[in-house]
Amino acid sequence: MSRVVVTGIGVVSAIGNDVASNHAQLKRCESGIGKAKHFTSKYVDSLNFAEVKLSNEELKTKLNLTGKKGISRTALLAILAFKEAIHQAGLSQEEIKSYRTGFISSSTVGGMCNTDELYADANLKGTPSEYVGAYGGGEHTLRIIEQFGIKGFTSTINTACSSSANAIMLGSRLIKSGRLDRVIVGGADSLAKYTVNGFNALMILSSNPCKPFDNQRDGLTLGEGAGYLVLERADLSEDKEHLAEVLGYGNANDAFHPSATSDEAFGPCLAMERALESAQITSSQVDYINAHGTGTPNNDVTEMFAFHKTFGTIPPYNSTKSYTGHTLAASGAIESIFSILSMQSNELYPSLNCVDPISTYNTTPIQSLTEADLNIVMSNSFGFGGNCTSVIFSKAARCL
Amino acid sequence: MFITDLKAISPQLTYNAEFLGGEKTSHEDTVYHVIEPDYMEFIPKGLLRRMGKAVRMGVGAGLPLVKKHADLDGVIIGTANGGLEDCIKFLNQIVEYDEGTLTPTNFVQSTPNAVAGQLALMGENRGYNITYTNGGTSFENALLDALLLFEEGTNKKLLIGGIEEISDYNYNIDSLSHKYKKEIVKDTELIDSTTPGTVCGEGAALFVVENNADSYLAQIKDVAQITYPNEEDITQCLIEMLNRHDLKLTDIDSVMLGYNGDIDHNSWYEYIENALLVHSNSYSFKNLIGDYRTCTSFATWLATHMLNGETSFNKHIARRVSNTDAPKNILIYNHFDTVRHGFILMTK
Amino acid sequence: MSQTREELTLELKKHIVEYLNLLDIKPEEIKDNEPLFGPELGLDSIDSVEMIVLLDREYGIKINNPTEGRTILVDVNTIVDYILANKK
């Protein structure tokens, strides 16, 4: 069966507008969480956010889309990261427009970041806004398809916080099935009153920067961003650098509660077990886990339990949400990219804000920048609706 | 893959057997609302009380299948909008209470993966679970994922479906994009209408599909999709799909087309009907249920019954029927807003 | 005219039925001392948040988090007690 490799990555988040700057800030162990400057909401003074530093106008300028109407911030972030990924992968026009090239994106907010306009349009107040056609979760996908001329299989996934991890999984499976030769996978989400107020209504937002795995943690910090990976068949991309190989993946449903994980962490355990099985490795071969680690009381304790049950001896782990906040649908892709950067550099980045770690299993998250020989890494994403997905990457068998 | 069970809530009496028995419900409006069962008879009240319409319909159609088939090992749902009514209710709260203290239920239930999550929860199903929100090919995405899982050998029996609800709000947004007719047209006159705009429908159609079955209702052989195609792309897309099964265009005995009464949408269907599949019987289906992004799930439900020899509804959907033998295969072709196009190939 | 405890209790029950969308349950059927999160009514964590919203919107009472809420949201009696002690 074909092997699937990563030939390009693109990311924009609170810690950088491209891969290099994200990586640099990870190495500096500096969080991107702070006060929002562009996002408007009653909560911008009282809450912290992990906002992308570019305004919508700056994004449009960067993308040569100045003056274009009706493009949501989600779509702008998506296009920026998408462009970086395909550029790194060196995809030609012919390859992008080939029927054998697919695109799978994801978003939870989609165009609903334009909350005020959505309210007006949905209630038929005033003249229709420029965003009338842009609210759907799949609209940013269409924007990219149209702009880049993608003809192959396309899809948009929404399984809340595990969405782009599922995109990576589906893309890999499509290549292995022989239906596609390459597929760009990932997701995007932007800060929106909708999600801020939704999480706030559930009382799972922290008023401080999130503290994943800390005993004093009291909620998550919302972030925004986009991440895309170009996946290709290994044997058809031998002339390119392979950043990593997609070794395995697993998807499971916790089947317990719409917005909380079971104490027994059925979903997380099954997702990780299925990923290990699909990768045909044992748990002891995993060198590092990029945890879902949102910083909510429920997630972190259940995820730790899942680590203990799945691994026994828990490998080094962190939550890079302490850098980027929770980027919702984009988190699977962004955190997979960070896992790959970690692996390429043989470096482990500390989990920030963890001063009083949960110590139930005699282990703490990574405390400081550490060199390590990393060959196989895992990235976890667990979402509302019980959707749990785990993806495993390995160093590519061959690097240029 | 083999369809071994199915259930649909639609603007026709499809939940029980009345529609198949010949009872057709007429619609004369720009919205075709579903005819719902009494959910309280089988959905626990503690859960039902939270459910918006999309979730109620999805669970209403899915739960009987979940209960009957305890060995389901995954749930795959396609829904372009999910619980948009809940979404907009939450947005209204945000505005009306100026981001103050808000009730969370609308938020939690509005997430498009709420249906798949709820069905997993109620069936204690920890298998593969995913939701596609890809506009007019969300259901087609779900079908392809299921086919892949069976090829990979990881699953044996899946629950798959397509769901979409009408709320005032999503109707308002789509109507601002001039999607719907400005005048009232009878459903019997919809497909041949010569004005722009269509009518808004809703529904939930759920299926149990298996990788192997001795006894089954129909097979879904393949699915294909393409976005922003030209004529050459559409032709190639269809021919390649048929080639994978050693079929030629002339082997398709029936085609079900997504004509929706919008004159600006017809050319694609005319091309398939009159240029590529000129030898096939042709049918429409949106005159029964209106148009919505996952309506091919209803078309699949209908095609399954046609492949099983049901004919009571043929007079409502037939366009060109020259061969009166029971169909051996049915191709469903649909596009939403001329942008996302999908093909579903079904056989007996 | 100020409300009696009985009137407040019935009003609270009506709000509970409305906010939590309790199907098939009439307000008067909820017993004053029936545990809200017990097996009969079967409310859960999302309902506790909804109750916090109810108390804010209908009675101007702010409960800051579910932990604080747990001691107040035991049954109708305890909530009525709290409202009478804190209503603005």
| Pairwise CA distance, residues A168 & A357, whole Å | 31
Mean pLDDT, chain C, integer: 89
| Pairwise CA distance, residues B197 & B261, whole Å | 7
Query: Using one digit for the tens of pLDDT, what is the confidence trace for C60-87?
Result: 998 877 778 888 999 999 999 999 998 7
Q: Search chain A and give the residue with CA nearest C44.
A: A257
For chain B, give every residue range classified as CATH 3.40.47.10. 2-210, 218-347
Give chain C's contact residues with A (Cβ, < 8 Å).
Answer: 44-46, 49, 52-53, 65-66
Residue B123 and residue A128: Cβ atoms within 8 Å? no
- Average pLDDT of the segment spanning A175-196: 97
C70 and C87 Cβ atoms separated by less than 8 Å:
no
Question: Averaging pLDDT over each range in B101-110, B276-285, C40-49, which range is the top one?
Answer: B276-285
Is the model's pLDDT at A399 over the cut of 60?
no
Query: Using one digit for the tens of pLDDT, what is the confidence trace for A336-359?
Result: 999 999 999 999 999 999 999 998
Listed residue (A315, A332, A310, A334) closest to A323, CA to CA: A334
Is the model's pLDDT at A62 over the cut of 50?
yes
What integer pLDDT is reported at residue C24 of this predicted model? 83
| Pairwise CA distance, residues A302 & A275, whole Å | 18
DSSP characters over B174-233: HHHTT-B-SS---HHHHTT--SS-B-B--EEEEEEEES--SS-SEEEEEEEEEES--HHH
Mean pLDDT, chain A, integer: 95
pLDDT: which is higher, A53 or B85: A53
Query: Using one digit for the tens of pLDDT, what is the confidence trace for B240-283?
Result: 999 999 999 999 999 999 999 999 999 999 999 999 999 999 99
Query: Using one digit for the tens of pLDDT, what is the confidence trace for A232-277?
Result: 999 999 999 999 999 999 999 999 888 888 989 999 999 999 999 9
| Pairwise CA distance, residues B82 & B271, whole Å | 32
Tell me the C-alpha to C-alpha distance, in Å, between residue C8 and each of A37, A202, B179, B298, C32: 45, 27, 49, 50, 12
Tell me the C-alpha to C-alpha distance, in Å, between residue B181 and each of A288, B171, B197: 57, 12, 4
Listed residue (B32, B83, B4) closest to B290, CA to CA: B32
| Pairwise CA distance, residues C23 & B40, whole Å | 9
Residue B117 and residue A253: Cβ atoms within 8 Å? yes
Q: Search chain A and give the residue with CA nearest B223.
A: A153
User: Which DSSP state fits B83?
Assistant: S
Q: Is B183 left (phi over 0), alpha (psi -120 to 50) or beta?
A: beta
Is the model's pLDDT at B5 over the cut of 80?
yes
Listed residue (A299, A7, A49, A327) closest to A163, CA to CA: A327
What integer pLDDT is reported at residue A275 of this predicted model? 98
What integer pLDDT is reported at residue B47 of this predicted model? 86
- Average pLDDT of the segment spanning A82-91: 98
| Pairwise CA distance, residues A248 & A280, whole Å | 8
Count of CB pairs separated by less than 8 Å, A with B = 197
- Average pLDDT of the segment spanning A76-87: 98
Give chain B's contact residues with C (Cβ, < 8 Å).
Answer: 40, 45-46, 48-50, 97, 100-105, 108
CA A352, A354, A359, A361: dihedral to nearest 10 degrees?
Answer: -10
Structure-token pair, residue C88: 């603005």
Domain at B218-347: CATH code: 3.40.47.10
**pLDDT band, residue C88 (cuts 50/70/90):** low
Q: Which chains touch B (3 or more CB pairs under 8 A)?
A: A, C
Q: Which of C25, C29, C47 has the highest number of chain B CBs within 10 A, making it the mutation to test binding with B?
A: C47
Q: Which residue has the tokens 């282990």?
A: A363
What integer pLDDT is reported at residue A28 of this predicted model? 98
Closest partner CB to B225 (pick from A128, A133, A153): A153
Evaluate if pTM is beyond 0.90: yes
**pLDDT band, residue C1 (cuts 50/70/90):** low
Class of domain B2-210: alpha beta
What integer pLDDT is reported at residue A70 of this predicted model? 93
**pLDDT band, residue A206 (cuts 50/70/90):** very high
Determine how β-strand A154-157 pairs with β-strand A222-223: unpaired
- Average pLDDT of the segment spanning A215-237: 97
- Average pLDDT of the segment spanning B162-184: 92
